[in-house]
Amino acid sequence: MQLRGGAVDVTGVDTSLPALELAKENIALNNMDPGRISFLREDATEFMKGALLRNKSWDIVILDPPKLAPSKKVLHSASGMYRSLNSLAMQLTKRGGLLMTCSCSGAMTQSGMFLHILQRAASMAGRQVTVLRQAGAASDHPIDPSYPEGSYLSNILLRVL
């Protein structure tokens, strides 16, 4: 058994026990080596701060927080949270590595501010980023044009320098 894409080890972090249990089930379903994949039940912000203190870094970081901006009313405060989370994630990404960052907040996606927030996060982290891919929902999540609120997923792949 091996990991995909040449990965040597994988660390997953989530506060949700059911999500972590499901992730562990997927290891077996996908014939992957459970000895090279670890899951931690921890707050992602605290995990990232601790990893920075230990001088840890990764070639690939995936950041997929819960809905931080459930409405336009909280968009300003959510922007600060997205900026802080992404700044930490950028600092943990090895130079030249990849950061996949996501938002499932309709208010954020529809505001068009996500890329600007990511640029500010890069500045905070002392890093430069290049957008390699910007996407929304996959084809298994169709969007009804008469319901624009259905367009709430953002997915951006960055090279972090």
CATH number at residue 111: 3.40.50.150
Cα 46 to chain centroid, rounded? 15
How much is the pLDDT for 1?
Answer: 62
66 and 10 both lie in a single domain: no
* Domain assignment of residue 9, given as a range: 1-42
Residue 15 pLDDT: 96
115-145 CB burial, b ≥16 within 10 A, e <16 = eebbebbbeebebebeeeeeeebeeeeeeee
pLDDT the model gives residue 39: 96
Cα 141 to Cα 88, 103, 124, 136, 155: the distances in Å are 29, 15, 34, 9, 13
Q: Are residues 38 and 64 in the same domain?
A: no
- Same domain for 28 and 70? no
Give the pLDDT score at 106. Answer: 86
pLDDT at 149: 78
pTM of the predicted model over 0.85: yes
What tens-digit pLDDT sequence spans the chain (161 residues)? 668 888 889 999 999 999 999 999 999 999 999 999 999 999 999 999 999 999 999 999 999 999 998 888 989 999 999 999 999 999 999 999 999 999 999 889 889 999 999 999 999 999 999 999 999 988 888 888 888 778 889 999 999 99
Both 121 and 156 in one domain: the answer is yes
Is the sign of the CA dihedral 101, 140, 28, 19 positive or negative? positive
Residues 19 and 72 reside in one and the same domain: no
For the chain, what is the domain count? 2
- Residues 101, 32, single domain; the answer is no
